[in-house]
Chains A and B, each alone.
Chain A
Amino acid sequence: MAKTKKPRERKTRSDAKLKTLARVDQETLWRLMNPTDSTVPAYTPEDAMVYVQGEHGISVSESTLYEWHSWYALNLRMEARENAANQLMEDMARNPENSEEQIRAAGQRLFMTEGIIERDFKKFTGAAKMTDESIKLQQAEKKIALLKKAGARDERKLAILEAKAAQADAAGAVAHDGKLTDAEKAAELKRIFRMG
């Protein structure tokens, strides 16, 4: 008689234990490890592991906790970008002259450039590691390459490129302006990119 094969139970991946917790529970864990109030001591990984075990009955390793922490941090930043892009698109949608395609493209562009205004400048933008001079040099090189390619026939393309370069310059200046708060930088960058 043939043996009936017992279906193998799928083991939950260790990192999924935390990633599949309810959002509110993940937020709580995040806040415990990253309190907004500087007078409140942050949970160490050991504290967090004990908390997760006690609160959710889940035993996680330190590496699982670190993996979840990186994943959640990136999620938060992506959400911030998403919200900024959504907001821009909502604003643009109020103007009937803006086509759906223009609105979508502007949202996507902001999503791609939003890294400039995130708190962790160094991590996020390769551009942040460059000096202003090197950014300008790159832009100039791009212009030259484009000119050669187009044979300087398409003046409209060049005008667009120059406008974009001007936007990038303006955005770079805003990003490096120590006098502005993050919120002011965000507002200023939105204003700059809406010009395009």
Chain B
Amino acid sequence: MIRRRVREVLAMAPGYGKTEAMLLEFCNELNGGGISLQELRDARDWNHAESYVRSEDDDESGQVLWFITKTGIAKQKTL
């Protein structure tokens, strides 16, 4: 469920990266709360390993930004 939440959030405004904090906030919002940072990281890393999401370093903010990939979008469509 959390893995899907991560993709759902990243599929919104897909051209813009989301930080880990944003992901945690938005995933919890969709889930009605209850997702810990560790759970989010596990779910995000699983999606990363499956190439459903990708990361990019944002030099300006020094943060990592997360994006959904085409594969991730395709996965979301097989609802």
Contact = CB atoms under 8 A, between A and B. Distances in A.
Contacts, number: 45
Contact of A16 (B19, B22, B26, B79): B79
Interface stretch (A41-49, A54-62, A105-113): A105-113
B17 A70 contact: no
Interface residues of A, number: 23
Q: Is the interface of A mostly helix, strand, loop or mixed?
A: helix
B16 A109 contact: no
B32 A111 contact: no
Interface residues of B, number: 20
Interface in A71-125: 71, 74-75, 78-79, 81-82, 85, 105, 107-109, 111-112, 123
Contacts of A67: 30
B22 A112 contact: yes
B13 A82 contact: yes
Contacts of A123: 29
A16 B36 CA distance: 25
A39 interface: no
A112 B79 contact: no
B58 interface: yes
Nearest to B79: A16
Interface of A: 12-13, 16, 19-20, 67, 70-71, 74-75, 78-79, 81-82, 85, 105, 107-109, 111-112, 123, 126
